[in-house]
Chain A
Amino acid sequence: MEENQLNSIPLPDKPATEILLIGGSAGSISVLLEIIPQLDKELSFPVIIILHRKAHPESNLSELLQFHSSLPLFEVEDKMILNNGCIYLAPADYHLLLENKGQIALDSSEKINYSRPSIDVSFQSAAVLFKQHTAGLLLSGANADGMEGLRCIEQYKGLVLVQDPVSAEFGYMPKQTLLNLEADAVLKPAQMAFFINRLNKKSNLNELLLYNFI
């Protein structure tokens, strides 16, 4: 996609992003592999990824994502410290919660929407803490997990982002969400990293300069 075409998506007029959560189910790993390599090396907020995955702690999903990431990427352990510019992957078989703005907690309670980790649970937990500074991006998927979490982010006036269902391998989840919620932006995989980078405080500034220049 051409740079100016990427630029054409307006950046919503929202408070600064302090945390970004990306939730995905079936068909979302390939999208992540497209986003992660293109993220700014100095993002001004942490990124948390919640993926539905098999309940085997030995899975090598984190190695795969690490391999493609220029940002530090961690599979979350209990009470891990949250740092800007780092990516955190929810481990299999645990819900990921935010204990406070600087610490992650894990929870092995009942599955929600037949899922653990549940996207709804993490989105809600972040929205309650980060309020309007929360950004949530929901990717491809074939079940219902994620929409209620995005609704929560919407209620706190955070940033609601959804993958364009047409571009999703499994469009059900993003499609249902768009039928029920007002998204701030609907994005194709190729636009996502660029959009996220523009949420970055430093690059926001650059962008303004760029626009003025043009």
Chain B
Amino acid sequence: MIEPDIIRDEEMELLLRDIADLYDYDFTQYTRSSLRRRLNRICMLDKFTSFAELRYRITKDPAYLTRFIEEVTVNVTEMFRDPGFYKTLRDHILPTLGTHPFIRVWVAGCSTGEEAYSVAILLKEAKLYHKSLIYATDINPGVIEKASRGIFQAGPIKQYSENYMLSGGTEDFSSYYLSRYDVVKFDEALSEKMIFSTHNLVSDSSFNEFQLILCRNVLIYFDKDLQSKVLKLFDDSLQTFGFLALGSKETLRHSVVESKYKQLSGKKYGRKPVK
């Protein structure tokens, strides 16, 4: 079922302005077609029958903002999403990363953490986890809290297990978690080297230097200018010879940093060339 379209362009601009003025969240450079869907969806979920009602609630009720941020951002993710991508990571990237004395990974826009746990599993199997740190960040405090608990719905686990095998995994996937009723809890050893924190790609700056940055299916929600700004942020945060991993349909083409990266084996991996 698609949501009825009740929000006009001018109204959306008005609301984004309000939020930027009143709160520390700036959505004015987000992809409009996607935002429009999210706003219509929020109106449906929270039973606002008009745009005016939604706007009133957001501007008058700061407590509602948390809920709004959680729903306006897309938090659809899965473990080992695009198994081919993880296979490249496993077979081609990790062996190179292994030559570093210490590996810092940034999962930007980590949502509820499924990708961070996937990377942790790969690092563990490559026997590199002991010398790694995974920084998992998201704009949304609610999902960071969930990610840090390492508890996921059991429903999609079968799919994750298939993805894991397609990514070249040979262990028994169920050895990484404990099932209880309708949830699974991932082994705490996997989150040992994870640091969870909120980070807003729009307004926050670089906070470390990394060998690998994953930011998959986040840039699609940004317009071209914001994409460039964020790619610059990643570029500033990536060590020479570092790797940048984007979603399968995201691209560095026509971006400011394009010339500094080389795409690896059909996957969206950029690598800084020898300087």
Contact = CB atoms under 8 A, between A and B. Distances in A.
Interface stretch (A28-36, A73-81, A176-184): A73-81
Interface string A147-177: 0110010000000000000000000000000
A98 interface: yes
B247 interface: yes
Interface stretch (B18-26, B28-36, B114-122): B28-36
A97 B33 contact: yes
Nearest to A113: B1
Interface stretch (B50-58, B60-68, B236-244, B248-256): B248-256
B255 to A, nearest CB: 10
B74 A77 contact: no
A203 to B, nearest CB: 31
Contacts of B2: 112, 118, 120-121, 124, 148-149, 152
Contact of A108 (B5, B217, B251): B217
Given A58-B84, A78-B219, A91-B249, A107 B37 contact: yes
B13 interface: no
A104 to B, nearest CB: 9
B84 A57 contact: yes
A125 interface: yes
B33 A57 contact: no
Nearest to A124: B2
A68 to B, nearest CB: 23
Contacts of A128: 5, 36
A113 B2 CA distance: 8
A175 to B, nearest CB: 19
Contacts of B5: 124, 128, 152
Contact of B247 (A76, A98, A108): A108
Nearest to A129: B33
9 contacts: A57-B248, A78-B220, A105-B220, A107-B34, A107-B221, A109-B38, A109-B74, A118-B2, A124-B5
A128 B221 CA distance: 19
Contact of B224 (A77, A79, A152): A79
Nearest to B251: A77
Interface in B243-270: 247-251, 253
Nearest to A91: B249
Nearest to A123: B2
Interface string A74-98: 0011110000000000010110011
B1 A108 contact: no
Nearest to A97: B33
A42 interface: no
Given A78-B219, A78-B220, A94 B249 contact: yes
Interface in B63-112: 74, 76, 82, 84
Contacts of A78: 219-220, 247, 249-251
B31 A105 contact: yes
Given A76-B249, A79-B224, A105-B34, 8 more contacts: A57-B248, A78-B251, A79-B227, A91-B248, A93-B82, A94-B249, A107-B221, A112-B1
Query: What 6 A-B pairs are tightest by C-beta distance, nearest first?
Result: A97-B33, A57-B248, A109-B74, A108-B217, A120-B2, A107-B34
Given A57-B82, A57-B84, A99-B32, A106 B1 contact: no
B76 A108 contact: yes
A126 to B, nearest CB: 10
B249 A107 contact: no
A97 to B, nearest CB: 4
A97 B249 contact: no
A161 to B, nearest CB: 19
A201 B251 CA distance: 34
A110 interface: yes
B32 A57 contact: no
Interface in A56-81: 56-58, 76-79
Contacts of B34: 97, 105, 107, 109
B226 to A, nearest CB: 11
Nearest to A111: B76
A100 B223 CA distance: 12
A44 B82 CA distance: 36
